[in-house]
């Protein structure tokens, strides 16, 4: 599975060595609880997320999607195995180191936007960099603000913005630090279909135009169809992958998973 392939010859087979990938899990196990109530949320997951690709993680509810993303993003600690970010294992890092890694190397986009209500859109976008004592690249900031249609909204607070605009602020915030990976957790879950489609095309463009790596958890086949690749989970294991997904292929794969085939 980890034989490196030349991307030129296999443009849609994003199979990287885990150490070369933007993010990777190697035999990742996560067990919650103890004894009778123990849950094996991840049961030996090995998967790579290639650089400058848009990957969606899908699977039935409870299949381990959030747990996998949390382990890869340093928000949760695996029980066994490796969670690699740019080739570095997050296991064994102190809380302090994980906080720094999350701040400097990872961008997050959440279903609930998670903007600070008292700050303007602009301050929300630059906050993670401010906290890290870094200055935003002014050109990148200008590019993002324009590309995301936020130029007229920078002085607004979140309550003065629509859901779609708030999510675009959150995406600008995630992208402006040029993170190793952007992890998006159901980014369109709170949006109407038009704003959702806009957010997805923005994520896609970030991959195409900026070479950003994006990993998105979703249960919406329409959202997953925007990705380059879909990784399927079932019962805490990788159950398959779809390259160049479309709504039909994703819907069909999910139906088979639900039916246990
Ligand atoms: P998904 O995101 O695919 O719905 P999750 O990763 O949230 O799946 O959950 C996988 C399994 O782990 C589920 O059985 C869930 O109940 C369990 N689980 C997740 N988080 C916790 C937790 N903090 N404590 C106990 N069990 C958990």
Determine the pLDDT at residue 13. 45
The class that CATH gives domain 53-64+94-258 is: alpha beta
Measuring from atom 22 of ligand 1, which residue has the nearest CA? 32
CA of 62 to the centre of ligand 1 (A): 6
- pLDDT, averaged per 10 consecutive residues of the chain (261 residues), comes to 38 64 96 93 97 96 96 96 95 92 92 94 95 91 92 97 94 94 94 90 93 96 96 96 97 91 68
CA of 66 to the centre of ligand 1 (A): 7
Closest-lying ligand 1 atom to the alpha carbon of residue 217 = 2
pTM: 0.91
Check residue 259 and give its pLDDT.
86
pLDDT at residue number 20? 86
Pairing of strands 106-110, 39-49: unpaired
Which atom in ligand 1 lies closest to the alpha carbon of residue 60?
3
* pLDDT at residue 15, as a whole number: 57
CA 28 to ligand 1 center in whole angstroms = 15
33 Cβ inside 6 Å of ligand 1: yes
Distance CA 194, CA 119 (A): 26
pLDDT for 7 equals: 40
Q: Write the DSSP string, 201-230.
A: HHHHHHHHHH---EEEE-S-HHHHTTSSEE
Q: Which atom of ligand 1 is nearest to the CA of 76?
A: 23
Closest Cα to atom 25 of ligand 1: 32
Binding site membership of 41 for ligand 1 (Cβ less than 6 Å) = yes
Q: Which of 33, 40, 41, 69 to mutate to test the pocket of ligand 1 (most atoms within 8 A of CB)?
A: 41
DSSP SS3 for 30: strand
Ligand 1 geometric centre to CA of 67 (Å) = 6
* Spatial separation of the C-alpha atoms in residues 16 and 21, rounded to whole Å: 6
Return the residue whose CA atom lies nearest to atom 13 of ligand 1. 62
d(CA 131, CA 133): 5
- CB distance 62 to ligand 1 below 6 Å: yes
What pLDDT is stored for residue 12 in this prediction? 40
Which ligand 1 atom sits closest to the C-alpha of 70? Answer: 6
Could you give the CA distance from residue 177 to residue 181 in angstroms, rounded to a whole number?
10
């Amino acid at each position: 599975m980890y034989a490196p392939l030349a991307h030129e010859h296999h443009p849609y087979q994003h199979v990287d060595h885990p150490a070369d990938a933007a993010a990777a899990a190697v035999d990742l196990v996560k067990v919650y609880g103890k004894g009778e109530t123990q849950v094996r949320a991840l049961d030996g997951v090995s998967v790579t997320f290639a650089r400058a690709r848009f990957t969606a993680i899908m699977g039935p509810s409870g299949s381990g999607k959030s747990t996998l993303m949390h382990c890869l993003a340093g928000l949760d600690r695996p029980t066994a195995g490796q969670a690699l970010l740019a080739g570095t294992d997050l296991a064994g890092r102190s809380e302090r180191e994980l906080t720094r890694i999350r701040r400097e190397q990872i961008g997050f986009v959440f279903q609930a936007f998670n903007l600070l209500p008292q700050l303007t859109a602009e301050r929300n976008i630059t906050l993670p960099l401010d906290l890290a004592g870094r200055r935003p690249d002014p050109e990148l900031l200008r590019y993002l603000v324009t590309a995301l249609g936020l130029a007229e909204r920078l002085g607004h607070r979140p309550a003065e913005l629509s859901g779609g605009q708030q999510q675009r602020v959150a995406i600008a915030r995630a992208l402006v630090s040029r993170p190793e990976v952007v992890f998006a957790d159901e980014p369109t879950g709170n949006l109407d279909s038009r704003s959702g489609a806009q957010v997805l095309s923005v994520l896609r463009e970030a991959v195409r135009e900026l070479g950003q790596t994006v990993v998105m958890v979703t249960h919406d086949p329409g959202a997953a169809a925007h990705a380059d690749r879909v990784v399927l989970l079932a019962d805490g294991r990788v159950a398959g992958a779809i390259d160049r997904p479309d709504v039909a292929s994703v819907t069909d794969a999910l139906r088979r998973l639900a039916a246990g085939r």
